[in-house]
Amino acid sequence: MEASGERAVGLGGSARNVATGDFIQQIDQATVLPAEAFLPVGELPKRLVKLPAPTRLFVGRERELALLDGPSAVVCVHGLGGIGKSTLVAKWAQDSTGTSRRPQHDLGGRRHAFRPPPCAGRLPGHPVSMRW
């Protein structure tokens, strides 16, 4: 194996994803989990991540709330920190919990400023992605 040049990558084994560039050098290798690591879907625990307490004053965002309540099963909300993403999702979860549209929620998130959202291009189907 040979690798030469400013951005060359040489691998001694198999790799799943390799990305290089001016600001990133990342090598992700796949990990194979044994069958015992997977629970049947019916046994998965219901969970809700820590969301901010419901705010008494919430105005606007009708368009964004409508997008969250749309037909997609998976929604990714992303944007710069401090603009109200968590508050928006908390308001939506509070308003729709127990309805036939959203009887339960599995909410999760990671905060990475100035990077593509973690869900970009990795979710099955046609997820909705909102940015503001």
**Minimum mean pLDDT range among 31-35, 39-43, 73-77, 116-120:** 116-120
For the chain, the structural domain boundaries read 38-131
- Cβ-based neighbours of 116, under 8 Å, separated by 6 or more: none
Torsion angles phi and psi, residue 20, rounded to 5: -130, 160
More confident call, 94 vs 117? 94
pLDDT in tens, 98-127: 554 444 455 555 444 444 555 555 555 444
What's the DSSP call for residue 45?
Answer: P
Decide if 48 contacts 86 (C-beta within 8 A).
no
HSE, CB side, 13 Å, CA atoms: give it for residue 121. 1
